[in-house]
Every structure is written in structure tokens, then in C-alpha cells.
Chain A
Amino acid sequence: MFIEYIVGLSGLIAAGLFIYGLKAMSSPVTAVSGIVTAGYGMVFVVGATFLNLFNVSPDARPHLLVNVALAVVALLLGCLWAGWRGRTVQMTAMPEMVAIFNGMGGGSAASLAAVSLLSDHATSGLHLSVTIVGALIGCISFTGSIIAWAKLDGRMRKPVRFGGQRFFNAALFLISLALGALAVMQYGTPEGVLPGILFFGAALLFGICMTLPIGGADMPVVISLYNAFTGLAVGLEGYVMGNPALMIAGMVVGSAGTLLTALMAKAMNRSLSNVLFSNFGDTTSSAKGPEGEMKSADPSDAATSMRYASSVIIVPGYGLAVAQAQQKLYEFVKMLVADGVDVKFAIHPVAGRMPGHMNVLLAEAGVPYDMIYDMDDINDSFATTDVALIIGANDVVNPEALTDKSSPIYGMPILNAYKAHQVFVIKRGSGTGYSGVQNPLFFQKNCTMVFGDAQAVLSKMVEAVKALGTA
């Protein structure tokens, strides 16, 4: 009895610390203390859970030693593997890592449901239904996250699409539900085992099939959605297990994750259903590009005009990260700042591969966050800026999104880099962006292309500014 109070209260304290930590994480100043606070909560509640060892059901007592050994081994294996992967992964590969860790949580929630279904403790139909719903969501999150990881990791390059796919997926979903219902109705009888197993198979398969047709560019939104799914599954299984800490933590993440997903989808100007059910990228091949000539310039010429500009706004895109050129860029920026140039970074909400990803990549290179501006804060400044330097970004500065209704990216908010007096674009070649659309900005009079790998171009720019000497 006493132990139950201690364990129950530890869950309450942990849930409080989680909410406090999440709140702290929503500001850059307190963010680090936030995750540490949440971490203490987790250590505390996991430690307290071991007190439950004194409280196991009578049938489980003979197995207690084996079970504890298994628990310790599983904890160690999980922590060591994930800790090692999390510590060694490249910052650019962060989105797929988050996907994997999230999928693991979904799988864990699904396994809780599986045990509840297999146990013969009499529970109400309501309990069983909640178990099944939680299991379904957890399974989708588990296999869906693995597919998302494979896509972002480049193991699965093309979306898998076939005729009648939507119908097939809907049918698979209904079959999962029906099998789940069957498992609930025949719970506790030998006949109930097979539908239960088939239910898990169908739910896992549905997670795969649901994610397969979604393109790589939309994966961040999908990962965020599955993050919310896992939270929801954990919350529901928490109800089944009678553990309020799981219910609160799971549901807080479920709603926070849903809001984050909506914010991300909004930043891409697409609704969630659009991401999930429309095959983006199929229809864009017919778009014809604007006519005209691109001007190109030498890196050193571009660097010189930036050195003598009074203000520069830098628009980094994922191409910068691919070229691993963030460090070089910041080196270049520091030289400009030392020479009295006012330099700012402008980040589009979907720059990088996930909202906020570009900020992380710049932060990794040492760029202080007060030099980095959101789209809404900086968009009015472009018109009064001497130079806009665009590196490895394309669609997010395409003015066609504002004007051309036939463009596939029409309506997406963009950075108004085209309004700057002079625009430099560092780009590998004259090809199109993620959406497959040509960018009329590159043909504008005030725009000059600097072709080449971002790393090489920026090195030349640093050299050029060095050669000019400090003022």
C-alpha cells in the first residue's frame, strides 16, 4: 500500500517536471535547463518503478528474478544503443534519428497493448477497446517511423505509388479495425488469439502502406505527426494500465505534437490531409520555366561587393548543409562583421529538412541565435538591404509562389530576397529545386549566379576578402 503511494506520487512529480521542462524548452534562453529538468523527472520515475518489484502479482513472484534480470538487460541495451547512436549521428541526419527514436516509443506502446490483450485478467470491454485503439496508433507510429527513417536516410528514394492505393489503404485500415473488434469480442477464449495476432500484423502493415506514397520532402511533417501518434498511444495505454503519469505525459505530447505538426504544415502552406493523401511532385513536370539568360559571376567579385555593402542578408537552404559549408559560411560572415557590414540570417520556416533544422545546423557552426531571423521578422527588411546572398535554397525564394497561380508552389510564403538591391545565388548548377519548378528570380536583372559547390565558393570568398585586407 505504502509503495503504491510512493510510485504513484513519483509519477505525479515526473509529469509535473515534464510539463515544466517542455515549457522551458519553448524559449531558447531556458531550453537547456528544460530538457535537463525533464531528464531528472524521467530518472526519478524509472527508479521509483523498481519499487513495484515488492508489489508484483502472486503468479509472477516465481519469475521475479528472471524478469528483473531481463528488465535490466533491456534497459541497458536500449540506453547504450540509443545513447551511442544519438551521440554520434551527424546533425544533418537528425530528422531520421528522431524518427527512429519516436518509432521505438510507438513500438513499446504497442507491446504494452499486446500484453494486455494476452493476459487473462478480466477487464471490461471499454478497457479492451481503448487497448486496441492505442495498439493501432502505436503500430502505425512504429512501422511508419521506420519507413520515414528509410526515406530520409536515402534507403528508399522514390515514393511507392500504385493505382487504387488509397482504396487499398482504406481497406487495410478497416480490416485492422475489424480484426481488433473480433479480438475484443473473443477476448479470453482460444479463438481470440488468432484475430489478435492478425490485428497486430494488419496494423503494422497499415503503418508501412500509409507512409510509402508520401514523398521525402513531406517526411518532417509526417514524423511530427507520428510523434503525436506515439504520445496518444502512450496516453491510451496509460489508461489501460491505470498509470496517470503515462496518461498525462502521453496526452501532453499528443496535443503538443499535433500543434507542432499543424505549424509545420502551415509553414509549407499545405494542409495535413494534403500531405497525407495527395501525391505531391507528380504534376509538376509540365510546368514550363521562365525564358531568359542567367548572369553568373566569380566568387571573388561577389565577395568584394558584399565586403563593401552596408547590409547583407543571408538565406541558407538545405544545399548549404549538404555541402557541409556552415562553418565556412560563418567564417566568411565573421570577416564581414569585422569589417562593419550588418549581416543577418533569414530562415524560411521549412529551410533544412524540418522546421528549425537550419537553425540547429547554423547553431552547430557557432552562429549566435540573435543573428538569425524568422521569415516574418525579416521579410520587410529585404527592400532596404544591399545584398541578399542565397545559398543552396531555391523554392523558398521563388517569387512565382506569390504571383503565378498555376505554379505548384503557389501560395507558399517566401522570403522576399528578390527585393534586395543585389541578389547573389550560390548554386551547384542551373537545375530546379525540390518542387521541380524553375525560379524566375535567377533571371532577374538584379540577380547574379555564383555556380559551384557551396564549400568551394565560400572558401574562395573568404580568400578574396582576406586579400582585400581589413579596413
Chain B
Amino acid sequence: MMDSVTSMTFIIALYIFMLAAFTGYVVISRVPSILHTPLMSGSNFIHGIVVVGALDVLFNATTLTGQVIGFVGVFLGAGNVMGGYVVTDRMLAMFRPSQKPTTEKKGQQ
């Protein structure tokens, strides 16, 4: 009984992986090359969700080793999230169509 539950979760996990893989492929497949670098950085931000897993690990740590590894994990994950966001945001903020920047610049000067 236990075995069939475990194998079922594993199969469901494979379904999730398959669907997620297709999603990632389809979402990216029509991207213009001008957005490759921001997109790489944006997807870099998204896998920063690993910090959530690291937080759970740290909350449940019972030994010093667990606390140290958990701390490192949360620190690295938080850096991934924050760095990925800031860098992507900075890059994307620069993409503007031609009408806007001229009016903006006139406004500033």
C-alpha cells in the first residue's frame, strides 16, 4: 500500500516535470534575440525560489551542522533572488521605443 502511494507521487512528479519542461520551452521559443540576456537573467531570478526550500530546511534544523548548511543555503538563495531581480530590472528598464526617450530627455533638460 505504502509502495503504491510512493510510486504514485513519483509518477505525478514526472508529470509535473514534463508539463513544466514543455511550458518553459513554449514560453521562450519565440523570443527575439535582443532579449536573450535579460531573459537569461530573468530565468536566473526565477530559480531563486530555491530560497523557499532553504528556509524550510533552516526552520527544521536540529543540529549545528544543519543550521550552518541551512544558513549558507538561505544566504545563497537570497542572493540569487535579489541579484537576479535587480539585474533583470535594470536591463529591462533600458528598453524603450523611440518616441519616449526624446520626450523624457527634453523634460529632464
Give A residues with C-beta under 8 Å from B. 11, 14, 18-19, 21-23, 25-28, 31-32, 34-36, 38-39, 42, 45-46, 49-50, 52-53, 56-57, 59-60, 63-64, 66-68, 70-71, 73-83, 85-87, 89, 91, 94-95, 97-98, 100-102, 104-105, 107-109, 111-112, 114-115, 118-119, 124, 126, 223-224, 227, 230-231, 234-235, 237-239, 241-257, 259-260, 263-264, 267, 347, 349, 352, 354-357, 359-360, 363-364, 366, 368-372, 374
Q: Check if A112 sits within 8 Å of B35, measured CB to CB.
A: no
Give min CB distance, B78 to chain A, whole Å.
3
CB distance from B39 to the nearest CB of A (A): 6
Q: With both chains docked as a complex, state the minimum distance between the C-beta of A262 and any C-beta of chain B, in angstroms.
A: 10
**With A94-B37, A227-B40: A105-B58 Cβ-Cβ less than 8 Å:** no
CB contact under 8 A between A83 and B82, given known A19-B23, A112-B54, A115-B57: yes
Check B106 for interface membership: any CB of A closer than 8 A.
no
Given contacts A105-B77, A227-B43, A227-B44, contact A87 B98 (CB under 8 A): no
Assuming the contacts A70-B71, A102-B44, asked whether A46 and B91 have C-beta atoms less than 8 A apart, the reply is no
Q: What CA separation (Å) do A349 and B39 show in the bound complex? A: 15
Instruction: Give the nearest-CB partner of A244 in chain B.
Output: B16
- Whether A254 and B73, one on each chain, are in contact in the complex, defined by CB atoms closer than 8 angstroms, is no
What residues of B have a CB within 8 angstroms of the CB of A244 in the complex?
16
Shortest Cβ distance from A25 into B: residue: B42
**Known A18-B49, A108-B72, A252-B20; further 6 A-B contacts with Cβ < 8 A:** A77-B75, A227-B43, A247-B13, A254-B24, A360-B38, A360-B91
In the bound complex, residues from chain A placing their C-beta under 8 Å from that of B43 are: 22, 227, 231, 252-253, 256-257, 260
Interface of B is mostly: helix
A356, B38: Cβ atoms closer than 8 Å: yes
27 residue pairs from A and B, CB less than 8 Å apart: A28-B95, A35-B45, A38-B42, A39-B85, A49-B56, A50-B55, A53-B59, A78-B74, A78-B82, A79-B81, A82-B79, A91-B91, A97-B87, A101-B84, A108-B80, A112-B50, A241-B56, A242-B9, A246-B49, A247-B17, A253-B44, A256-B24, A259-B28, A366-B101, A366-B105, A368-B100, A370-B98
Residues of chain A with a CB closer than 8 A to B33's CB = 263, 267, 347, 349, 355-356, 359, 374
Range of interface residues on B (Cβ < 8 Å) = 35 or more
Q: State in angstroms the CA–CA spacing of A468 and B95 once bound together.
A: 32
Question: Is the beta-carbon distance between A237 and B50 smaller than 8 angstroms?
Answer: yes
| Interface majority SS (helix, strand, loop, mixed), chain A | helix
Which B residues, 86 to 100, have Cβ-Cβ distances below 8 Å to chain A? 86-100
Check A94–B87 contact: CB distance below 8 A. Answer: yes
* Contact B76–A104 (Cβ < 8 Å): yes
Q: Is B107 an interface residue (CB 8 A)?
A: no
| A242: chain B residues within 8 A (beta carbon) | 9
8 Å CB contacts to A: which residues of B29-69?
A: 29-63, 65-67, 69
Give chain A nearest CB distance to B106 CB in angstroms.
12
B1 within 8 A of A: no
Q: How far is the CB of A275 from chain B (nearest CB, A)?
A: 16
Knowing A115-B57, A360-B37, A360-B91, say if A245 contacts B49 (CB, 8 Å). yes
Identity of the chain B residue whose Cβ is nearest the Cβ of A330 in the assembled complex: B101
- Shortest Cβ distance from B13 into chain A, in angstroms? 5
